[in-house]
Every structure is written in structure tokens, then in C-alpha cells.
Amino acid sequence: MGYYIDLINISIGKYRNILKSSDLLPSRLILKDDIDGVFNIIKKQQIKNVDELQNALKNKNKVQNFSKKSGIPEDYLKILIREIKSYRQKPNNIKDFPGIAENVILQLKIFGIINTLQIFDKILTPQSRNEISNQTGINENEILKLAKLTDLSRIRWVNHTFAYVLLEAGYDTAEKVADADYKELYEKVKKLNEEREIYKAHIGLHDMNLCVEAAKDVSLEIEY
């Protein structure tokens, strides 16, 4: 599947069911209003999957045209495209992760690697991690750490700081986060931050539940 979730493989019917069962952000709960009716209209526009829907709504003009043609309110479509785009958040920059040595950042930059998307294909297996370690001179353990931070960065809404927090809390892969009890994860992260003051933002139980649910969408392509 690659770094991102393949939106072509999510049919419109499947996506409707995903939204129905999702614990959405409060600002996006409108997406559940008459969801069956809305998605039946979307199907009638010959939209078969989420990738096609994203292309149909990819700019302001297209949203306006789709709204006029379908009768679906613009405000609804704007929130819908925001939700879809959250599947493809910007990759995290390697220099922004706490605890990554300057020489590691510089060495990767020489090889054209500055973010998690660019390193993804190079850290998928123990063999590929060994190769990049030999090419760059970066210790294999450091490469493995970057692989895990990259894996965690594929979870929606997980920025560079929170990827590091999850790693330090012992939830060092997307699979471990997906399998976690969100209440237990919340307590471990809260305790870690109280001890080390890694971040200042408030991360609540609801946020942690969203994180665990989002991790379930990530394909398990990295071999450990």
C-alpha cells in the first residue's frame, strides 16, 4: 500500500460505514447527518471510491460545482474533504523528532532524505535498514528507531513530538498503538509527560481513542 492509505481501495459504501462508526472530532460530526442520503447522492454522481471523491472536491471551484450539481451543501462538502485529507497528512521532518543527533540528520540529507515519506521505502525490512546503515554510516539501532518513528508518523494526527512520545511510552509501532487499550495508553503517556515534560498540549482520553482507531487504518508493511 505504501506510506499512505490507498484511497482507491475504499469504496464509497465502505467509507460511509467508516464514517458511521467513527468517533469523529466534534467539528466533523455533521458528516453523520443523513449520511445514507448524502452518500446515495454521491454514488449517483458516478463516484466509486474515496480517491475519486477527493479528486471531485480537490479545490474550491470543484466543491462549489459538486454542490450545485448534487444538492449537497457546500459546508458539508468542505468538512468531508477535510476529513478525507486527514488520511494524507504531511510527513514529519526527521530534524523535528526529539533525540535525533545532528550528524544523523545531516547524513540523511546528503542522501536526499529529510522526512518520513522519503525514508519509508528504505526502512521496510531488516535487510533494507542494514543497507541504508551501510550507505550512510548511521548506526543500525538509530535506523531502527527512525523506522519506528516513521511507522508512528503514518497514523493520522500524529506529529513529530507525539510519535516520539508513543515510542518512549513503549508503543513503538503502529500495530502496538492499534492493539492498545486507549485508556491504558492515555495513562502511560500522561505519566511519561508528567515525568519528562515532553509536550505542553492537552491530550485527552477522546484524543487517545481517536489515535488508536486511526492506527487501525495503517497497513503493517514494516518488518521488525
- Claim to verify: residue 103 and residue 209 sit in the same structural domain: yes
Task: Decide which of 66, 88, 110 is a domain's last residue.
Answer: 88
For residue 157, pLDDT over 70 is answered with yes
- Claim to verify: residue 83 and residue 110 sit in the same structural domain: no
Task: Give Cα separations from 146 to 108, 149, 150, 175, 196 (angstroms).
Answer: 11, 5, 6, 16, 21
Instruction: Give the 3-state secondary structure of residue 115.
Output: strand
Number of domains in the chain: 2
Task: Decide which of 88, 118, 149 is a domain's last residue.
Answer: 88
- Claim to verify: residue 109 and residue 137 sit in the same structural domain: yes
- Claim to verify: residue 120 and residue 210 sit in the same structural domain: yes
Amino acid (1-letter code) at residue 52? E
- Claim to verify: residue 65 and residue 158 sit in the same structural domain: no
Residue 224: inside a domain, yes or no?
Answer: no
The candidate with the shortest Cα–Cα distance to 90, out of 144, 148, 157, 28, is: 157
The pLDDT-based confidence of 1 (bands split at 50, 70, 90) is: low
- Claim to verify: residue 158 and residue 182 sit in the same structural domain: yes
Give the pLDDT confidence score for residue 200 in this predicted structure: 87
- Claim to verify: residue 99 and residue 206 sit in the same structural domain: yes
- Claim to verify: residue 79 and residue 123 sit in the same structural domain: no
- Claim to verify: residue 58 and residue 149 sit in the same structural domain: no
Please give the average per-residue pLDDT across 101-125, as a whole number: 97
Q: 217 CB contacts (<8 Å, ≥6 apart)?
A: 5, 87, 156
Residue 54: inside a domain, yes or no?
Answer: yes
- Claim to verify: residue 173 and residue 107 sit in the same structural domain: yes
Residue 138: inside a domain, yes or no?
Answer: yes
Give the pLDDT confidence score for residue 88 in this predicted structure: 83
The mean of the pLDDT values for the chain is 94
Range of the domain at 52: 7-88
Q: 119 CB contacts (<8 Å, ≥6 apart)?
A: 94, 108, 113, 132, 146, 147, 150
Sign of the alpha-carbon torsion through 196, 197, 199, 203: positive
Residue 107: inside a domain, yes or no?
Answer: yes
CA distance 124 to 151: 10
Instruction: State the cell numbers at 223.
Output: 518488518
For residue 185, pLDDT over 90 is answered with yes
- Claim to verify: residue 84 and residue 115 sit in the same structural domain: no
CA distance 210 to 92: 19
- Claim to verify: residue 110 and residue 194 sit in the same structural domain: yes
Residue 112: inside a domain, yes or no?
Answer: yes
Task: Decide which of 55, 88, 121 is a domain's last residue.
Answer: 88
CB atoms within 10 A of CB 74: 13
- Taking only the tens place, the pLDDT of each residue in 3-59 is 998 899 889 998 999 898 877 888 999 999 999 999 999 999 999 999 999 999 999
Rounded to 5°, angle at Cα 32 from 15 and 152: 55
HEC assignment per residue over 42-83: HHHCCCCEHHHHHHHCCCHHHHHHHHHHHCCCHHHHHHHHHH
Residue 223: inside a domain, yes or no?
Answer: no
**Rounded to the nearest 5°, which phi and psi values hold at 179?**
-90, -5
CA distance 210 to 156: 9
